[in-house]
Each structure stands twice: as structure tokens, then as C-alpha cells.
Amino acid sequence: MSEFKPCIVVPVYNHEHAIGAVLAGLLVYGVPVMLVDDGSSAACAAVLDTLTREHSDRVCLVRLPYNQGKGAAVLAGFRRAAELGYSHVLQIDADGQHRTADVPKFLETARTHPQAVIAGHPIYDESVPKARLYGRYATHIWVWINTLSFDIKDSMCGFRVYPVAPVNALAARQTIGVRMNFDTDILVRLFWDGLQVVNLATRVSYPSDGVSHFRMWRDNVLITRMHTVLFFGMLPRIPRLLARKWQTR
């Protein structure tokens, strides 16, 4: 087995008020952190520059020239992670909604399941917007259809650990959604590629800085289109998905 060498990738877009606390919560675990600036405002870019300078031994900064979407930022982090020799990437959002205290649990699970995706399964508190909470169930149903399984409990949580090589191989041959459709799109496609998904419960709150980049019409259109594309992509894969199900049983 190759060496388990993880890093943490945090896509950042105008979260200057939350990223300092998120970074502080991550650095205590001694894992290198990569901040990916997805074309943020000057104010946020200045905060990221300061944080990188103050923690130059443990933090690096990747900067995209303009805003391209969370998925584009995460994939840029994966490319840099491969260049730096990391085996796994822990992805976590910059707005403070995820519990950084769960980082060791995610990394240890990834260490014992190095070929799997460790996917956060959210446990929400009272801060979650009810429309967002109920709206997730439509995606859950489509994911169960498009994988012919219940192996993925939640495909939208931005707290997970991936093996680097399979993600970069997938991204090299397949266009993946780069905005709010990213987390679901890549997880379903990695499942199609044969990767196991290990679900890990984690508490989620919404969010510490009050910034949400979800755009109701644009992102719902993107998500609907994604589910349609995945459905038609699933159809020729039915025999293989069913064979996988029976082999697992």
C-alpha cells in the first residue's frame, strides 16, 4: 500500500469573515492546508494573503484568476495536491458550517479505507434553512436512482476525503459540474468508476459568516440538468451496477 499522505483543500470565495476561524480549527491537526482562492474580492484576497504569510510552513495558497465555481476551485486543489505528492485530499467548506473537530475521524477512516471516498453525512442543527433541508431529498432520490443503490446517504455535503489519483483521472476524461452541482456529480461518477463510498456522520450548522453562494434559479437549473445527464449516463451502466450490487451482497 502506498503512503497515506493527506492534505486539506479549502475552496474560498468571499469568506473573509469565516476563513480565519476555519483555518485555526484545521491547523491544530498538523495536516498541510491548501487555500484555493476562487477569484475572491480584494478584501478576501488580502485576508488569504495574510493567513498564508502567517502560516507559511503549513499553508499554501492557490489563486484562480476569476471566479469559476467551487468545483473548479476544488479540482485546482487536486491538481496541485498531485504535484506536491499528496495521496488524499480532505475537502471542507470555508464558511464554517462544518465541524473541524471531526477532521481526525475523517482522516483515520480514509487511512483505513484508502481507495474509498469518505463522504460526510450531515446531522443538522436548528440553523439549517428548511427549504434547503427538504430540497436535498430530491437530490437524494435521484442519486439513489442513478447509482441503483443506497450506498450514498448524502451527495451534497462538502466535507469529505478523496483519494487524489482517481479524482484527477476522472477529471481528465470527463467534464464535471463546477458550481453547486460539483459535489453530487463527482461522487456519483466516482461511484460509477467503482469506488466505495463510506458515509460518516458529522454535525453541520449554517453558516458562521452568513454568506451563501447558492443562486436559486441558476443552481437549480444546473442541478436539474446534472440529474438528467447522470440518469442517461446510468442507463448503459445498469448491468455493471447490478452486478456490483450482487457481488456486494
- Report pLDDT for 209: 52
Query: Which residue's C-alpha cell is 500500500?
Result: 1
47-85 burial: b if 16+ Cβ within 10 Å, else e? bbeebbeeeeeebbbbbbeebbbbbbbbbbbbebbeeee
Distances from the Cα of 87 to the Cα of 81, 127, 172, angstroms:
8, 35, 17
Query: What is the pLDDT at residue 169?
Result: 98
Q: Which domains does the chain have, with CATH numbers?
A: 6-248 (3.90.550.10)
pLDDT of residue 245: 84
Residue 142 has phi, psi (to 5 degrees) of -65, -35
Kindly report, residue by residue over 133-176, the tens digit of the pLDDT.
666 788 999 999 999 999 999 999 999 999 999 999 999 999 99
Q: Cα-flanking dihedrals φ and ψ of residue 75, to 5°? A: -65, -35
- Percentage of the chain exceeding pLDDT 70: 90
Beta bridge partners of 98: 204
The cell for 89 is: 485530499
pLDDT at 2: 74
7, β-bridge pairs: 89
- Give strand pairing partners of 90: 8, 161
Neighbours of 228 (CB within 10 A): 11
Give the residue among 108, 136, 133 at the shortest CA–CA distance from 200.
108
In a 13 Å sphere around the CA of 9, the CA atoms on its Cβ side amount to: 32
Residue 184, CB-side half-sphere exposure with 13 Å CA sphere: 30
- pLDDT given for residue 238 in this prediction: 97
Chunked mean pLDDT (size 10), the chain, 249 residues: 90 96 97 98 98 97 96 98 98 95 98 98 75 73 96 95 98 93 97 97 76 60 91 96 85
CA neighbours within 13 Å on the CB side: how many for 247?
Answer: 8
Q: Is residue 93 within 8 Å of 31, Cβ to Cβ?
A: no
Q: What are phi and psi of 36, to 5 degrees?
A: -110, 110
